[in-house]
Structure 1
Amino acid sequence: MLIYNVTINIDESVHQDWLHWMKTIHIPDVMNTGCFKENRICKVLSTQEDEVGHTYAIQ
């Protein structure tokens, strides 16, 4: 099994729009290629106090 992972940090100002786009448009488009069996959106937790935005690992 291979895991395709993309990790991204999203600015707070576009966070909700980006997450909606990922769930309703981008991930369905990728899944429709037939190249993947399943998907996950994982929120990455940080211990760094100065980190801004939201970090996700998309698999």
Structure 2
Amino acid sequence: MNTITLIRYARSQALAMRLGVVLPVAGPAIGLSAFCRGLEGLGYDTLWVGDRLVAGGYPGR
């Protein structure tokens, strides 16, 4: 690789936009696995989830 090609490659990597998805923390998880695999297939880079993705019942019930 010559210097100009190397610089162009480095710039293209540094400026590439990376996309991610934030999952909701409420609602049913039906089909969630297939949904996440589909996102990966589309080229998304990250998947963000809350720390309470799966919650138990309500206290006192």
Q: Which has the higher strand share?
A: 1
TM-score where L is the length of structure 1 = 0.35
TM-score where L is the length of structure 2 = 0.34
Q: Which has the higher helix share?
A: 2
* Higher RCO, 1 vs 2 (CA within 8 Å, ≥6 residues apart): 1
